[in-house]
Structure formats: C-alpha cells, structure tokens
A and B are shown apart, each in its own frame.
Chain A
Amino acid sequence: MKRLLFTTTAAALVAGAAHAEGELNIFNWGNYTSPELIAKFEEMYDVKVTITDYDSNTTALTKIEAGGHGFDIVVPTHSYVPIYIEKGLLMETRPDQMENFANMDPNWVDVDWDPGRHYTVPWQWGSTGIAVNTTAYSGDINTSAIFLDPPAELQGQINVVPEMSDIMAMAVYYVGGTDGCTADMDILRAARDVLVAAKPSWLSMDYGTTDKLSSGEWVASVNWNGSTFRARLANPDVQYGYPVEGYPLWMDSVGVLADATNVENAKLFQNFIMDPENAAMISAFARYSNGIAGSDAFMPADMQTAPEINPPAELAAAGRFSPACPKEVQDIHTAIWTELQK
C-alpha cells in the first residue's frame, strides 16, 4: 500500500511537470473509478488526474487525519461523512449551488449525513443483501434466514463477508431491531445468540465474493448488490435477495478535503459527476446505482432492468441507512465479533 502510494505520487510529480494546466488527486476505494470518466474529465478541463486506492473507511480516515497526504478528493461511505465534517476535514464546497445540482435525485438531497448537500455529492449507492445459487436452493431468498437460520440445502456452504457493521446490523434487524446501532441490550443479546448459533453452518467468512459465487465455490453468501450483479452476468444461476427483515444501505460520497491544494479542480469534478451522462459512466463501471436523476438513459441496457439495482417495491422500504455507531456500541459489536471468530 505504501509503495503504491509512493509510485503514484512519483508518477503524479513527473506528470505534473509535463502538464502545466492543473492537477487533481483523488483518494477512492480500489477498482471503483471508471477510467473513461477520468479520461473525459482530463480532456474537458486539461487536468491531470491521479487516483490512489484505499480498502476501508478507517484506513482512509487515518491517512487523511495524519496530514501531508496531498489528496484533493475523498469518497467516504455515508456513515463516515459526519465524522469528516465534525473533524473539520471536509471543505464546505456547496454542491447545492453548483450548476449540475438540478440533476440530483430529490431523494438524495436532504440526507441525514449531509443535509442539503453542503459538502458531498453521491458517487454510488447500494445494498448489502444475500446472493444464492438457485441450483442449490430454490426457496425464498429474500430473508436473512439464509445465513442466520440456514435451510438444510445450504448448511455448511454459506459465506459471510467479514464486514462487522453490516453483519451486526443484519443480525439486529433479524431479531426485530430497527436501528443498526441500537444500545438495547436485549436486542444485542438476541443478535449475538443468533449469530453464534448460525456460525457452525457457515463455510467461511471471506471477501472475493464475485468470483467465488460465479464459479460455484460458494452457493450462498452475504453480498453487495453490484458484486452479485457481476456474478450473475458470469453465472445466471446466482440471484440477489433483499432480506425482508431489513438490510443495510450505503452511499459513498465525494467530498473535497479541507486542505486540498487543487480546490477549483475538485469543485469542477463534483459538478462534473452530477451530469447524468457522467454519472452513468460511474455506474456502468462498478455496477451500482448513482444518485443522479436521468442517468438511466445513458446506462447499459442490462442495468435498467437488473433486479440487483431495482428492488421489488414491497422490499425497497426494508433497506436502511445506519450511521457509524458510537464507541460504546462499537465496543459491544467488537466483543460479539471476537466471540464469533474465536
């Protein structure tokens, strides 16, 4: 990771010398940024864009808090946006006053994590649900019981992604809670019990879900919608379920760092990705929805009808956004998680 950082920084320095017009340094999740989108932005504004990867919200936050990073833009998950704002790490760029803001889907304007959109612009959003290979199990897959109380056909063949906050939220919803960060001890105890009881019927707790689902190594897994979409394109038997008990939603959001050096270019980028045609390029690459109205028209045909992108109406309301949990709740989650993986 460090070496990657070093080489990309070195590349940026070299490229910067050759290209005088401008620079933009983006810090984003790995394998998440459409190269076509970046090429278009570079050409349009004569700006050299450098992208550096990170693999988790904590990694990104730690690196940015440490300072001296040289990044202009970061793409935290919604739950981390208030943390960035509270710590004064994001610049109030007022996307709500930008030219392309008119394209923003009204549903995503007054969000809890950035009311009125004074700081961030949506990058992509999606859900954490259940992927099942329907040749192994033909019952109802719209339930967390697939991994929390598995049917006989799936015993011992299920993967659970080791994303603590997602899994804890799903277990809390499954036992009747509605708040992923609940401090209600009865609910947390029930969630712990259901997880500990279910674990012997799991095969693994691992990432790399897209390949292993499409190859048939796993027949069921907790998984993200876009990843399941890509798995289904490779293997049509892989289907995505939206747990009726409740499932986590998330939105990764583009913000400009308070100590950015290329502020104007960063603002241009925020405005640029609110153009429906550009937002569609983001989604066409990573296969998740964006938050821009009218981008559908520019997306590949298979995305407009994909069940992974368009939840059935009766299950759409079961998707919930959770904030980053307060430290006391986080400590309980970690203790349960340790007990689960001991």
Chain B
Amino acid sequence: MSMDMDRKRARDGWLLSAPALVLLILAASGPLLIVVIYAFLTPGEYSGIVWDFSLKAWFQVLFERDIFDQTVSFADAHLTIFWRSVRLSLVTTLLTFVFGFPTAWFIATRPPNQRAMWLFLITIPFWTNLLIRTFAIMEVIRLDGILNNALMGIGLLSEPLRIMYTDTAVLIGMTYVYLPLMVLPLFAAIDRLDFRLVEAGYDLYATRWQVLRRIILPIIKPGIIAGSILVFVPSLGAYVTPRLLGGGKKMMIGNFIELQFGAGRNWPLGSALSLILLLIVGIALIFYVRASTRSDANG
C-alpha cells in the first residue's frame, strides 16, 4: 500500500515537472548544443558558418597570430577583456553587499506587517525594462544631468563631474540593476536569524563588531553566498549597461562575443567564447555548492 503511494507520488512528481523539463531541454539544452557544435566549425565568408570541422576558434580564444609578423603569442587582448569582466563583476558583487546588507537588515527588523511593503518597494524596479532604467541612469549622471545640476546648484561643484563613459558609471549602473538580487536572499537569511543569539553575545561582553563578525555573518552566510552568485553571474554577461554607460571604449565579454557574431563575422569564435563564459559561471556555481554544503555542515 505505502509502496504504491510512494510510486504514485514519484510518478506524479515526474508528471508535474514534465512541462518545466521539456521547456529546459528545448529552450536551454537545444540552443546550447548548437553553440557547442558551432564552436567546432569554420566561419562563413560573410556571416554564419561552413560545415567544416575546425579547432581554429579554440586556438583563437587563447592565442593570436600577430597580424603583421605572423608570430604566435598569447592573446592578451582576450585575457584583458575577460579579466575586466571578472573584476567589474566582483566589485559589483561587493558593492551590492555593502548597500544590500544594511537594507536587508532594515527590512528584516521592521514589524512583520510592514515587511511585505518594503520588499514590494525593492521589487518595483523590475517592473521597468532594463534598457529604460539604464537610460534613466544616464539622465542622472550625464554632464548636464540631474546629479551635476543639483551639486552645482547647491555650490558643491564648480564644474560638472565627468561620470558617463567611465568604469564608475558602469559600476553605478550594475550595482543599481542587481541590488535587489542581493537584498532578497540576504533578507531571507536575516529574517530567520534568532535574535536571542545576538543578545547572548552582548551578555557575554562581545563588542558590536564581534557580534557582527562572529555571530551574524556566519549565520547568514548561505544568504550572502546566494546573493553573491545571483549578482556575479549576470554581471559577468552584462551587455547593455557597459555598452551604454561605459561608452563602448573598453569591451566586456558580452560585447566581445557580440562583435564576433556581428561585424567580426566569426561565429565559431563567438561560440567558443560563450562556452568559456559558461565555464566561468560553472566554476562559480561549483564554488557556491561547496561553500553552502560546508556551511550546512558547520551549522
């Protein structure tokens, strides 16, 4: 009897998840397979691919043949672009934590009937398209924008600050866009925090810093890790924000991949680069799983 129930439950489980599985296979694995295949083909003359097996794209990811003297060397341009993406994504993750932690703490310490309202406010930006939000930021930070006019109006600045088209502009944009993805998991973690532990810490003469470092942060660690992954992964592939706010002078991985599919007319290289990006994300996720199982074991 109970065996039947178990089997029935398992079958129902499969049936219920079938739509999601089919969607995943069709919408994620299918295109991914095409990308994998394309990475091993030859670029077409004007766009697209030719069905000839080639490893050239993978060679091009790591090495470049000098245009003028044909010597082969390490592709430092590609490395620079990848490192810039990783660096800006790490800084974005750090910034969203610095701004997101106090915000999440504030929300989690409101009376329960007010929390839903604050969380609702956090999600409002998602109602607007990313492109429109990015243009709105441009309106704030541009030379003749709201920020410069306000600062000059109250006499803090004598001439406008050049923020647009710098890494600072990209960081402002990405931090703003991804902040909710950090706040929500942090809130979930802080919400479950047993505040009696904090009181116990104070009773044992811990300083505020010690309470934060030795009690609060270790307990909410899974939330920090989840938030960091949620911010880091999309930052790494960010395309619109660096293109619009960064001024396009320096590429990030997303823009570099787009170049290969557009003006560069080298789809195999674009596919290979996409797979490398996927690999970096995969490594980040493995790190996440490791870190969270370890914190589970400790907790």
Contact = CB atoms under 8 A, between A and B. Distances in A.
A215 B144 contact: yes
Contacts of A165: 263
A332 B67 contact: yes
A342 B81 contact: yes
B157 to A, nearest CB: 17
B249 A338 contact: no
Contact of B45 (A202, A327, A339, A341): A327
A188 B67 CA distance: 9
Contacts of B259: 334, 337-338, 341
Interface stretch (A116-124, A203-211, A231-239): A203-211
A336 interface: yes
Contacts, number: 94
B165 A58 contact: no
B47 A327 contact: no
Contact of B164 (A164, A202, A217): A217
B67 A192 contact: yes
B238 to A, nearest CB: 16
B266 interface: yes
A204 B263 contact: no
Nearest to A83: B46
Interface string B146-164: 0000000000000000001
A337 B248 contact: no
Contact of B77 (A83, A327, A342): A342
Interface string B242-272: 0110011111000110011111111000000
Interface in A59-77: 59, 61-62, 65
Contact of B68 (A185, A202, A216): A185
Interface string B14-48: 00000000000000000000000000000101111
B80 interface: yes
Contacts of A341: 248-251, 255, 259
B248 A206 contact: yes
B143 interface: yes
A234 B15 CA distance: 61
A217 B142 contact: yes
Contacts of B266: 331, 334
A59 B263 CA distance: 10
Given A62-B47, A188-B67, A324-B46, A199 B249 contact: yes
A189 interface: yes
The range of chain B's interface size is 35 or more
B167 interface: no
A62 B249 contact: no
A330 B144 contact: no
Interface in B71-114: 76-78, 80-81
Interface string B47-83: 1100000000000000010011000000011101100
Given A58-B262, A58-B265, A217 B77 contact: no
Contacts of A159: 247
A11 interface: no
Contacts of A217: 142-144, 164
Chain A interface size band reads 35 or more
Residue of B143, B244, B261 with highest tally of chain A CB at under 10 A: B143
A61 B260 CA distance: 15
State the main secondary structure of chain A at its contact with B. Answer: helix
A185 B243 CA distance: 31
B264 A337 contact: yes
Nearest to B143: A217
Contact of A216 (B81, B143, B243, B262): B143
A337 B78 CA distance: 12
Given A203-B247, A205-B247, A341-B249, A336 B67 contact: yes
Contacts of A56: 262-263
Interface in A192-229: 192, 199, 202-206, 215-217
Contact of B48 (A62, A205, A324): A62
Given A162-B248, A217-B164, A335 B144 contact: no
A339 B255 CA distance: 14
A163 B264 CA distance: 11
Contacts of A331: 266
A177 B159 CA distance: 42
B246 to A, nearest CB: 8
Nearest to A59: B262
Nearest to B64: A335
Contacts of B48: 62, 65
A8 B248 CA distance: 31
B249 A204 contact: yes
A61 B43 CA distance: 15
A330 B249 contact: no
B46 A342 contact: no
B67 A335 contact: yes
Given A58-B263, A204-B165, A342-B78, 5 more contacts: A56-B262, A189-B68, A334-B265, A337-B264, A341-B249
26 contacts: A56-B262, A58-B46, A58-B262, A65-B48, A188-B67, A189-B68, A203-B247, A204-B165, A205-B247, A205-B248, A215-B144, A216-B143, A216-B144, A217-B144, A217-B164, A324-B46, A330-B265, A331-B266, A332-B67, A334-B265, A341-B248, A341-B249, A341-B251, A341-B255, A342-B78, A342-B250
Interface of A: 56, 58-59, 61-62, 65, 80, 83, 159, 162-165, 185, 188-189, 192, 199, 202-206, 215-217, 324, 327, 330-332, 334-339, 341-342
- In the A-B complex, the 4 residue pairs with the smallest Cβ-Cβ separation, listed nearest first, are A204-B247, A342-B77, A205-B248, A334-B264
